Amino acid sequence: MEKNTQSIKAHLAAHMRDFGLLFALIAIMLFFQIVTDGTLLKPVNITNLFLQNSYIIIMALGMLIVIVAGHIDLSVGSVMGFIGALAAVLIVNQDMPVPLTIAICLVAGGIIGGSQGYFVAYWRIPPFIVTLAGMLVFRGLSLWLLEGQSVGPFPKEFQILSTGFVPELFPESWGAALAELVGSRKFNVLSFVLGLVAAGAVLAVGLKKRKQDMAYGTDMEPAGLFWARTAIVCASIIFLMFKLSTFRGLPNVVVTMGILILIYAFVTERTTIGRRVYALGGNEKAAMLSGIKTDRLTFLAFVNMGVLAALAGLIFAARLNTATPKAGFALELDVIAAVFIGGASMSGGTGKIIGAVVGAFIMGVMNNGMSIMGIGIDYQQVIKGLVLLAAVFFDVYNKSKQG
């Protein structure tokens, strides 16, 4: 028993950052659930929480890649606003079909990211300078494109990018019966089933990885810790999906986020290009000597960031149902903060997709909870800044202890 306890303590100490993030998110949610008298976890507010933070999470996925590669992108908020403005001009003013507009906007985002990545990768101009210039350029282009005015509204088929919900596939009688059972006005069976499937997938993946670790003799997570962490994650997924099921079901944007998170987690953890990105950020010279084309990798990281910023811009415009000259203003700060709170290192080579997502949710829950409490935007900015500083300090302190 004593040996098992020591093993758990040693594993927690070695993975303090990962477990600290999970516990921090749970603690913050419980705190705001109490101080808001239960408002935070009401179905309608959980739905709003996802809708309000979807574009932050999507951009955080790309920002993590950029930061892990040893760079930074300050232009993502302006690029996001510019793409929303471009979509509004094409759809509302030019009557262009929605699918074609979406394709054009995503390509435009890739070109914007590539143009910035070109100067960073091949001309060795510091990314801070290149993307700061990009932030100013695309903020100005948004004002020019919209002529200083808001443009909208968008057609329904464009709005479903953000405000649409996955349609119910099960018989209405099933939903009515379950709604009566749980005491709600409606119940979306499909959303709850998908939640159960997602929780089952988390368990299956965890068990598979544990089996592989056992087969290869690698350092394994203690059984008690594994089951406790898995139970918390699965229970959280089922709880959130249950709450969504009693409102309007699963938002389309959550499906988009889920697919992107799975793809980027797989790419960064299980593919050669993912390992090369970490090698690039860890030591660029060593990566070059090992045969990695670091210039091309940097270029592609910025192209990827541009495409995700464009997607976020489309979702943001669809949610507001209008494009405004100030859309995306200062959002790059929230995106960068989410990635650093999630455990990424400014020096590059360190960070996980799940960490960036949890970091984004921590920021989102704090924003939402403080807004419900009626805390002014001035105090909100102070608190968010202190949380970011605390997260980075904790990371530096933890590394110094290990070193």
Q: What is the pLDDT of residues 274-317, one digit of tens each?
A: 999 999 999 999 999 999 999 999 999 999 999 999 999 999 99
Burial tier of 151 (Cβ tally within 10 Å: 0-12, 13-18, 19+): buried
All structural domains of the chain: 22-27+41-164+251-402 (1.10.3470)
Inform me whether the pLDDT recorded for 39 exceeds 80: yes
- Read off the pLDDT of each residue in 20-29 and give the average, rounded to a whole number: 86
Specify the long-range contacts of residues 234-240, CB closer than 8 Å, at least 24 apart: 234/199, 234/202, 234/203, 235/199, 236/26, 237/195, 237/198, 237/199, 237/202, 238/195, 238/196, 238/199, 240/46, 240/195
Q: Which amino acid does the sequence have at 185?
A: R
The predicted structure's pLDDT at residue 163: 85
Q: What is the token pair recorded at 333? A: 């700060």
Inform me whether the pLDDT recorded for 27 exceeds 60: yes
- What is the pLDDT confidence band of residue 145, given thresholds at 50, 70 and 90? very high
Inform me whether the pLDDT recorded for 245 exceeds 80: yes
- What is the pLDDT confidence band of residue 18, given thresholds at 50, 70 and 90? confident
Q: Which of 52-56, 58-62, 244-248, 365-369 has the highest mean pLDDT?
A: 58-62
What do you get for the CA distance between the two ends of the chain, in Å? Answer: 29
Q: Which of 4-8, 82-86, 177-181 has the highest mean pLDDT?
A: 82-86
The predicted structure's pLDDT at residue 2: 46
Q: Give the closest residue to 16 by CA, choosing from 286, 395, 292.
A: 395
The predicted structure's pLDDT at residue 4: 53
Using CA atoms, how far residue 218 sits from 52, 134, 226, in Å, is 40, 45, 15
Burial tier of 91 (Cβ tally within 10 Å: 0-12, 13-18, 19+): buried
pLDDT in tens, 178-190: 888 888 888 999 9
Residue-averaged pLDDT of the chain? 90
- Read off the pLDDT of each residue in 336-357 and give the average, rounded to a whole number: 89
- Read off the pLDDT of each residue in 180-209 and give the average, rounded to a whole number: 91
